Amino acid sequence: MSMNIALTGLKAATTDLGVVSNNIANSNTTGFKTSRAEFGDMVGGNAVNSTGLGVQLQTINQQFKQGNVDTTGRNLDLAISGEGFFQLSASTGTVYSRAGSFSLQAPSPDSPIQYIVNNLDQNLMGYPAVNGKISAAGETQKLFIDTSAMPGTATANANFNINLDAAEANPLDPDNFDLNDASTFHYSTALTVYDSLGISHEMRLYFIREDPTANTWTVKAALDGGVPITAGPPVAYTVYDLGELEFDENGLIVQDDPPTDPPNGVFADIDIDPDNSAADPLTITFNLSEVTQFGGQYIASSLLQDGNAMGSFTGLTIDDRGIIYGRYSNGKTEAIGQVALADFPNPQGLQPVGDTNWIATSKSGEALVGAPQTGTLGKLMSGALEASNVDLTEQLVNMIVAQRNFQANAQVITTNNTLYQTILNVR
């Protein structure tokens, strides 16, 4: 019996060495998770004084602790900091991985569509964006990048943050305004706007104070140095289209009480006809509700508008929430999609299938899929990869222990053989 018990010990030590060897071999494998062989004793019958029948393998336990994150500087290298797995679409079905080395792959040479895949051509899954908006509530899909140019967008809204000097004491008559004569207005500021073809135009606003004792300023505008602008009828507020800005005693735009809609300080729906017959006329709402009249110099702090020129695709970035942004030559960025992560009620129940991939089983439970940094899911780190979590020092110690166990069990067999020889030599 002792011979058979020793054989189970040899088998267990061999299995242990195999697990340790696999860990050491994968110490540089991206996203690899170390394993540990766990054993249990065997007994025969219910005898209290049983010597036992040896040892057997119970399970090979996977250790999903976080590996070191190594910086690579490559945008499509992704590391997960915290819980979760990348969800991948493979030819055999859905698999999960912590290895985040991805690249772009076009379905055909001339296609602007490029899918995000790993080294095995498995597709990264996530949530696509529609018109720059992402919803993580639906089913995940294969993520792709559309490298087509961003079309030009006409300006619809312009916002101004300006201070008009309250101490301005030189009165001017708005009726004498001449955009080519700087002496007929007090201040001007220019903003680049875009027509429906993405062609840029200079929109310049002019501010004129007719009465230094009044808190009102006349506002005029010109496009491209004088292309006429036609305004609609005045709106029923203190502020009118191409009319006046009125300030209170605190230097702020006068507000109706209760507030009206749109609020004062907004020049609504100004019609602009660019000097470009191919472009559609513009209708722009100028928001001057942040304009102030304080003592001090004239300052144009912020001039913003929502149009853009055409822009070619120049690259992408991925933030820690997994949102993929396309970068364009016109300086714009737009959300393209969001990487999805998956977690499991019992990750130990995942079945390894090679290539640092796992599949779900009844023991792991169903995948809980969501956006990074939601629920228990960790965050993404772009430009980095998660290294193997193998501790070489620990594995070398485990190898020595397994080797000694093997030697000890082999010695038991040698001792048993000596006993058998002694018995055979008894006459």
Q: Which residue spans within 279-386 are E strands per DSSP?
A: 282-287, 299-305, 313-318, 323-328, 333-339, 341-343, 351-354, 357-359, 368-370, 379-382, 384-386
pLDDT in tens, 292-340: 999 989 999 999 999 999 999 999 999 999 999 999 999 999 999 999 9
User: What CA–CA distance (Å, rounded) separates 203 from 193?
Assistant: 6
pLDDT in tens, 346-386: 999 999 999 999 999 999 999 999 999 999 999 999 999 99
* Whether the Cβ atoms of residue 101 and residue 302 lie closer than 8 Å to each other: no
22 Cα distance to chain centroid: 34
Average pLDDT over residues 149-165: 94
Domains of the chain, start order: 2-65+388-424 (no CATH), 74-149+312-376 (no CATH), 157-305 (2.60.98.20)
DSSP 198-244: --EEEEEEEEE-S-TTSSEEEEEEEETTTB-EE--SPPSSSS-TTSE
pLDDT grade for 4, boundaries at 50, 70 and 90: confident
pLDDT at 280: 81
Whether 43 shows a pLDDT value over 80: the answer reads yes
Whether 238 shows a pLDDT value over 50: the answer reads no
Q: Give 251's Cβ-side CA count (13 Å radius).
A: 12
User: What CA–CA distance (Å, rounded) separates 338 from 63?
Assistant: 28
Helix, strand, or coil here: 421?
Answer: helix
pLDDT in tens, 321-332: 999 999 999 999
Whether 10 shows a pLDDT value over 60: the answer reads yes
Nearest CA among 184, 188, 154 for reference residue 170: 184
User: What CA–CA distance (Å, rounded) separates 123 from 117?
Assistant: 4
